[in-house]
Amino acid sequence: MYNPLLRKLSRAIDLTAEDEKLLNEVIGVQRGVEARQDIIQEGDRPEEVHLIVQGFACRYKLLPNGERQIVAILIPGDFCDLHVAILGEMDHGIATLSRCKVVHIPRKTIDELTRNHPRITHALWWATLVDEGILREWITNLGRKPAERHIASLMCELYLRLKSIGLVSDHTFELPMTQQEVADAVGISIVHANRMLAELRERGLVAFQGRRVRITDIDELVAFAGFNQNYLHLTRRNNPENGQRIVHDQGREQGT
């Protein structure tokens, strides 16, 4: 059985056979949700945590004038509302972008997993921290990146996230977003989004085939977008290949 949650969490830590069995049980009962439906609304106090196992969804905030800002794109393996196991009510809504399969996990199952399975707890914590990293990147892009490079960055992000759970083949992935939804994610008008998507296509960086996107040359797209994948934390901390500077915190004793 394809288990995107297992694929995703295995990025963070080596899970045991027992952990894997538990995570397969967690996604046992899946429910279909049609495209462009709310899974949860702002103000809801869900008793279950929702996990996307198929399709695309988004986190969004509604503004008083009815406009929408999409603040995250959720793909298979992503929790909609893990924090609601701890926080009270939803401070944003979650809606499907395509037809989705969603798993409802009772809060007590999350409690049980985190209390008794330290590797799963570590991986869930990792997933939450990565979500925060993505949010920081989105804030930076929203505030400072020209729209065309911002959209290119979004394509790089989706490419790498989908690739990490095995949903990219031949440099192509599903992208069931309308132009309005891209505009809502990038914080620009629909006419502007339409034009920028056309320019990316004209530059030969991406090709749109219906609801699929083909990345012509990921290195070129990364360079154009000014994209740095570090915020996705796809390389483990203890991997010697990730080339990070190790800091031994021994004050001034060394080197002085």
Partner 1 sequence: MPLYYFDVLDGERFIRDETGHECADVAAIRRAAIESLPGMASDVMPDGDRHSIAVKVRDGDGVYVYEAALTLNAGPVDR
Residues that bind partner 1 (CB under 8 A): 146-148, 179, 188-192, 194-195, 198-199
Q: How far is the CB of 137 from partner 1 (least distance, A)?
A: 19
Q: How far is the CB of 105 from partner 1 (least distance, A)?
A: 38
Cα separation, 35 vs 17, in Å, equals 35
- Which residues have a Cβ under 8 Å from the Cβ of 202 and sit 6 or more positions away? none
Q: How far is the CB of 2 from partner 1 (least distance, A)?
A: 33
Choice between 10 and 194, CB closer to partner 1: 194
Question: HSE-up of 177 (CA within 13 Å, CB side)?
Answer: 28
DSSP string, 65-85: TS-EEEEEEE-TT-BS-GGGG
Q: How far is the CB of 203 from partner 1 (least distance, A)?
A: 12
Choice between 122 and 195, CB closer to partner 1: 195
Choice between 35 and 234, CB closer to partner 1: 35
Q: What are phi and psi of 132, to 5 degrees?
A: -65, -40
> Which of 168, 179, 210 has its CA nearest to residue 75?
168
Q: Which of 155-167 are b and which e, b meaning 16 or more Cβ less than 10 Å from the residue's Cβ?
A: bbbbbbbbbbbeb
Choice between 130 and 188, CB closer to partner 1: 188
Choice between 114 and 179, CB closer to partner 1: 179
Q: How far is the CB of 51 from partner 1 (least distance, A)?
A: 33
